Amino acid sequence: MDWLLNNAFVQDLITLARPATFNIYFALVSIPLGFPFAVLLALGKNSANRVLSWLARAYIYAFRGSPLFIQFFMFYSFALSLNKTLWKPWGVDEIVLHPLFLGPLVLILNTSAYAAEIFYGALKTVPKGEIEAARAMGMNRWQEFWAVTWPNTIRLAWPAYTNEVVFLFHATVLVYFTLPVIDEQKDLMNKAGELFEKDYNLFLHFSAAALYFIVISMLIFYVLGLVHKRLSIHLKTEQKPRLRFAPKYMR
């Protein structure tokens, strides 16, 4: 037990436990808020209203077409430029410029654009026959959406959206690379870099940080996989053939 606690890799895992909570925080705040915004953007892009569709498309293209790294810099610079004229007079400068607020805000705006494109693609692949059947039953547009369009959209989009959630979690490493580090608010990569500067053991410290990302990513895949299984529970799945170990003596 003492050998295990004295192991350098185990000590790194213990040291990086608190920084990992900041990466988890950014993801836990961004995902629930980015999801409904992405759905609204997808519906806006699919809307028959040209103005609404154009605004949604412009937003999606802007955030998908620019690097997240630059978006962090731009939003922080913009918030900083309004500090004396807007935030400080209202007494909210410490909140608006704080990484724990500005970080999730940029992540929400970014992931909503990518997720919106996923949901929009799923909207376009909803079976037309089911929509026609709903209309034949006399459903109005809202009933048609909630009974047919939305269940099919979320089921079709969920595997790709799962990847987007994992990518978002990985993107949390950019928050403290672009925004100021306050006190001991360091995430996995910042803390691993700090440990590296002490002994220059690149493989040890960043391997420990990578292990956290791998384990948490596997947990995300598992949880969202259960959700997808629940969404597809009504579909008939082919049973996998079972392996036969008993030899066949007769044909």
At 110 the pLDDT is 96
Which residue would you say has higher pLDDT here, 118 or 237?
A: 118
Which range is most confident: 6-10, 71-75, 237-241?
71-75
Q: Say what the pTM is.
A: 0.88
Output the six-digit token pair for 174.
């950019």
Question: By C-alpha distance, which of 178, 169, 176, 151 is closest to 219?
Answer: 169
Burial class for 240, CB neighbours closer than 10 Å (0-12, 13-18, 19+): exposed
**pLDDT over 60 at 248, yes or no:** no
Report the distance separating Cα 88 and Cα 230, nearest Å: 48
Output the six-digit token pair for 134.
């709903």
At 241 the pLDDT is 59
- The residue assigned the tokens 């969202």 is 224
3-state secondary structure of 132: helix
pLDDT digits (tens, 9 = 90+) for 194-215: 888 888 888 888 999 999 999 9
Query: Once rounded to an integer, what is the mean pLDDT over residues 97-120?
Result: 94
As a whole-number percent, the residues of the chain with pLDDT over 70 amount to 91
Answer whether 59's CB lies under 8 Å from 71's CB: no
pLDDT digits (tens, 9 = 90+) for 96-108: 888 999 999 999 9
At 242 the pLDDT is 62
Question: By C-alpha distance, which of 119, 116, 111, 31 is closest to 71?
Answer: 111
Give 83's DSSP letter.
I
Neighbour count for residue 181 (Cβ, 10 Å): 14
At 112 the pLDDT is 96
How do the domains of the chain map onto residue ranges? Answer: 2-231
pLDDT digits (tens, 9 = 90+) for 125-152: 988 888 888 888 888 888 888 888 999 9
Q: What phi and psi values does residue 11 have, to the nearest 5 degrees? A: -65, -40
Query: Once rounded to an integer, what is the mean pLDDT over residues 153-162?
Result: 94
Query: Once rounded to an integer, what is the mean pLDDT over residues 3-10?
Result: 67
Output the six-digit token pair for 205.
């410290």
Report the distance separating Cα 106 and Cα 67, nearest Å: 12
pLDDT band at 31 (very low <50, low <70, confident <90, very high): very high
**What is the CATH architecture of 2-231?**
Orthogonal Bundle (1.10)
